[in-house]
Structure 1
Amino acid sequence: MSPIIGFHHIAIITSDYTRSKRFYTEILGATIINETHRAERDSYKLDIAFCDGSQIELFSFPSAPPRATQPENCGLRHLAFQVENLEQAIRFLEKNAIIHEGIRIDEVTGKRFTFFRDPDDLPLEFYEI
């Protein structure tokens, strides 16, 4: 039996730390757990959490190279956030001038979802539970 009980956090390297910090905390509503400036690396590390305890680590590094973000490229495909009401979540995105793809249906589960992007063009999803 695997000892894994779930994931602790997801780490994201940002191109604009201030912009991403605002997006994830002020717009998406994550709570700041800890913010660390690492002078020797000229970088920040921000630990944030959502109400269910899931966490994201936001990192800044000077001159971090861009990475392709299309869902079909190798690597993390996207990050999905659980929502109870997709229409309400979409209104929230629109209120904050965040472009989304509209409602789609998961052909396997029949659940509704939509995709949108973070400030670094990373694919994010609202998935209705």
Structure 2
Amino acid sequence: MIQVHRMDADTRFIDSRTPIRIMTPSRRHITICLISVTALLGGCDAVGIETVPQYNARKEAEGKAIGSACRHAVRSIESCFRSNPKAPKAAVFAGWKEMDSYMRENEVVGMPTPPGEEASPPSGEHEETPTGGHEDGKKHS
């Protein structure tokens, strides 16, 4: 008996008598793979997608760290609020208060910033003095 092979675009031959059917993925297979990969990565933290509770916890921790640093630098809470306007005020205050109680309990001495360093402009810029000149004494136009 002679075998007749149907010729498709997916049929290849090793030699003239042995056909090989090439497996092409169907849409169903691709869809199933994409859905399963999406489901697996949806629960994965390695993707870098930050959820709302994670974002809030990070902002809270940053605010507490800012408040603690301000208290250790012997800065007032108002000064801390002014220098960090985007930080959540409640978290900054909680950090400042925690550091204050810690410093009092353990008799830790604060590390004040040197005078003039707090109000210094960013590097490369000169601040104008009240006389209209710059700090280096020259007038710039």
TM, length-normalised to structure 2: 0.24
Structure richer in helix, relative to its length? 2
Structure richer in strand, relative to its length? 1
TM, length-normalised to structure 1: 0.25
Q: Based on CA coordinates, which of the two structures has the bigger radius of gyration?
A: 2
